[in-house]
Amino acid sequence: MKNATIIRHIAFEDLGSLGDVLEERNYVMKYIEAGSDNIADIDALKTDLLIILGGPIGAYDEQDYPFITDELRLLKLRLNADLPTIGICLGAQLMARALGAKVYPGHTKEIGWSPIELSETGKDSSLVHLVADHAAVLHWHGDTFDLPVGATHLASSSQYQNQAFSFGKAALALQFHPEVTTRGLERWLIGHACEIGSTAGVTIPNLRRDTATYGYILENKARKFWHDWLFKVESKQGVLSSVA
């Protein structure tokens, strides 16, 4: 059995489809709730996989949310040790900042379904599963980041250049949300109601319509993506799962 430690910032932004894949690959999953659990207690070097999920705060907001300092410290240790790490949305921004890159408000909020475009290196990565047949992924962010020194650019969108990067042999940062499920996204529509209502051009009926069009397609593609990425990382780490 392998273990995965997951830092969650808000209850409805959970592992989604990634949780199902981790279970199939025999991971024991433990959620650490930011703001209530002590992130400083996490041993950066002992967990087999660290995942930092999204949330509606900034990667630069440590004055209001002191646990961000602990997350950055944890990530620096983890990334320096070249251990398997996934960051999604806020998690990706924290990874960028831990690697010395700037994180800052973007020129527009990117909320909704649209495709990503892979870099030449990205076309040789597990991300190819997410772009087959011109599929769309979910975007939900207002901040962006510069590409860290030493990182490999993997994907962009029509709105933002930096949508995904890898670092070292086993770290993956994703600005978008491949983990969401059609059913789970209904909770986002409740939890993010204020943001939706205050963002021009974004409405709940349109999000629900597009989710009905793209959600199940993403779930199927994301399962292949997660399995492929984890298989490659486990191969490098010498801890192959029984699921290939």
pLDDT in tens, 131-173: 988 899 999 999 999 999 999 999 999 999 999 999 999 999 9
For residue 244, the model assigns a pLDDT of 43
Contact by Cβ (8 Å): 26, 58:
no
Give the number of residues written for the chain: 244
pLDDT reported for residue 32: 98
Mean pLDDT rounded to a whole number for the chain: 96
Residue 240 has pLDDT above 70, yes or no: no
pLDDT over threshold 50, residue 20: yes
Q: What is the pLDDT of residues 26-81, one digit of tens each?
A: 999 999 999 999 999 999 999 999 999 999 999 999 999 999 999 999 999 999 99
Domain 2-237 architecture: 3-Layer(aba) Sandwich (3.40)
pLDDT of 69: 98
With a cut of 90, say whether residue 3 has pLDDT above it.
yes
- In this prediction the pTM is 0.96
- The strand pair at 164-167 and 85-88 is best described as unpaired
pLDDT digits (tens, 9 = 90+) for 97-123: 999 999 999 999 999 999 999 999 999
Separation between Cα atoms, residue 225 and residue 16, nearest integer Å: 13
Cα distances from 97 to residues 106, 161, 167, 170, in angstroms, run 15, 16, 13, 17
Using pLDDT thresholds of 50, 70 and 90, give the confidence band for residue 239: low
Collapsed DSSP state (helix, strand, coil) of residue 77: helix
